[in-house]
Amino acid sequence: MALQFASRMDGLKGSAIRELLKIADKPDVISFAGGFPAPELFPVEGLEIVSKKVLEEDGRKALQYSSTEGFLPLREHISKLMEPQSLKADPDQILVTAGSQQGLDFCAKLFVNPGDVVITESPSYLGALNAFKAYEPKFVEVEMDEEGMLMDKLEEALKTNGNVKFIYTIPDFQNPTGRTMTIERRKKLVELANAYDVCVVEDNPYGSLRFEGEIHPAIKSFDTEDRVIYLGTMSKIFCPGMRIGWIYAAPAILNKFNLIKQGADLQCSTIAQRECAAFFDMYDINEHIKKIIDVYRRRRDVMVNAMKQYFPKNVSYTYPNGGLFLWVTLPEGMDSTDVFKKAMDKKVAFVAGEPFYPNGGNANHFRMNYSAMPDEKIIEGVKRLGEVLNELC
């Protein structure tokens, strides 16, 4: 038969990362490719206790359908969790989603008609770009420096594009670059969004994983006109396998997300939400986050120190103050997929940079993850990668 798919499927390709993970997932490969949190830090024992508790105390409710907006005690915990980012969220302004990935899909579904403009950082998170693409936007990229999106470039993009629906940004320890937007720029970004009457999608999976310095107030904390949509997730501070994230937004927007959620999958797992809430009742999540930070900070240092030792001098890289990733820049004209092929011969994997640019190009970059490998593998992997780079650069 001749399958006639919708036109939105034309631009949809598999995530380079997800496809690559299948290759990189072999046990003998040292992989800096995924965005996996360190599994040895998952609170397995705590979850055993809470899952028993939830099933024993309220098992029949935990296995039944429940409300679309999500389990209220969990939404109360989520509200508290965002407080260090200077947010005071009414739990009624929170919708529980299947990870923040679902929030990304919903943002494009809510706002984007084919041809509408979405402004992104350049580069930006691949998974977001893939989610958005299903709604056929035009992507306008805004250049970054070490302090995040360049505000004059953002203003230019807003000025020269008529139908901008939202600005998409990952302000803290950005995926893929590891960069953080300064507080001044956060304020300026809200000003610009107000002036040009567009929404902001603030994707913040890593904000609380700060290794040094003060946690930055979320962009949403400067929102004076209810136009910032904040996306959060349990994936990096608790565990990704349960698929719990959230959207925090003003009622006029959140009500629409609720409708979208009803059509998309009715609700998130009742039992996962109750287990997550019970865990937050019984354990101090901030203590748990501190443990994660200590491990990731050390791994970042191990990786950066190994890069200093093994990488050629014409290869540069970012120095993230938190999160899971850093970003490597090769000399102009080089293609990181060439590096990737040779690295895979040496059983080392990373993600080539080009797919992070919505309109392509910029092949001389790649993303490195430092959260998922133990110290000695980070050193060994960077060493092997250094050999490849010294050969090619």
Residues 132-151 that bind a copy of itself (CB under 8 A): 133-135
Q: Which stretch binds a copy of itself (CB under 8 A): 85-93, 111-119, 300-308, 340-348?
A: 111-119
Q: Which of residues 271-290 bind a copy of itself (CB under 8 A)?
A: 271-272
Report DSSP state, residue 210.
B
Closest CA relative to residue 119, chosen from 161, 182, 147, 179 = 161
Which residues are CB-contacts of 90 (< 8 A; sequence separation ≥ 6)?
A: 79
Under the binding rule (CB under 8 A), the answer on residue 251 touching a copy of itself is no
Q: Which stretch binds a copy of itself (CB under 8 A): 3-11, 77-85, 287-295, 324-332?
A: 3-11
Cβ atoms of 118 and 102 closer than 8 Å: no
Q: Which stretch binds a copy of itself (CB under 8 A): 63-71, 200-208, 282-290, 310-318?
A: 63-71
Under the binding rule (CB under 8 A), the answer on residue 226 touching a copy of itself is yes
What DSSP element (H or E) covers 30? strand 30-31
What DSSP element (H or E) covers 200? strand 199-203
Give the angle 350-354-357 at the CA atoms, nearest 5°. 125
Mask 32-61, x = binds a copy of itself (CB under 8 A)?
--x-xx-xx-x-x--xx--xx--xx--xxx
CA atoms of 279 and 47, how far apart (whole Å): 7
Under the binding rule (CB under 8 A), the answer on residue 4 touching a copy of itself is yes
Question: Given candidates 28, 212, 252, 360, which one binds a copy of itself under the rule CB under 8 A?
Answer: 252
Question: Given candidates 70, 116, 186, 302, which one binds a copy of itself under the rule CB under 8 A?
Answer: 116
What DSSP element (H or E) covers 276? helix 270-282
Under the binding rule (CB under 8 A), the answer on residue 207 touching a copy of itself is no
Under the binding rule (CB under 8 A), the answer on residue 177 touching a copy of itself is no
Q: Percentage helix, strand, coil, to 5, in the chain? A: 45, 15, 40
Q: How far is the CB of 217 from a copy of itself (least distance, A)?
A: 21
Q: How far is the CB of 212 from a copy of itself (least distance, A)?
A: 27
Q: Which is nearer to a copy of itself, 111 or 310 (CB)?
A: 111
CA atoms of 235 and 204, how far apart (whole Å): 11
Give the angle 176-181-187 at the CA atoms, nearest 5°. 145
Q: Which of residues 10-29 bind a copy of itself (CB under 8 A)?
A: 12-15, 18, 22
Question: Given candidates 20, 32, 66, 315, which one binds a copy of itself under the rule CB under 8 A?
Answer: 66
Q: Which stretch binds a copy of itself (CB under 8 A): 62-70, 117-125, 213-221, 343-351?
A: 62-70
Measure the N-to-C terminal CA separation of the chain; round to a whole number of Å. Answer: 50
Phi and psi at 94, nearest 5°, equal -120, 135
Under the binding rule (CB under 8 A), the answer on residue 162 touching a copy of itself is no
Q: Which stretch binds a copy of itself (CB under 8 A): 2-10, 150-158, 302-310, 377-385?
A: 2-10
What DSSP element (H or E) covers 140? strand 138-145
Q: Which of residues 332-391 bind a copy of itself (CB under 8 A)?
A: none
In the block, residue with structure tokens 């005071």? 88
Q: What DSSP string describes 87-119?
A: ----GGGEEEESHHHHHHHHHHHHH--TT-EEE
Q: Which is nearer to a copy of itself, 202 or 315 (CB)?
A: 202
Question: Given candidates 93, 174, 175, 270, which one binds a copy of itself under the rule CB under 8 A?
Answer: 270
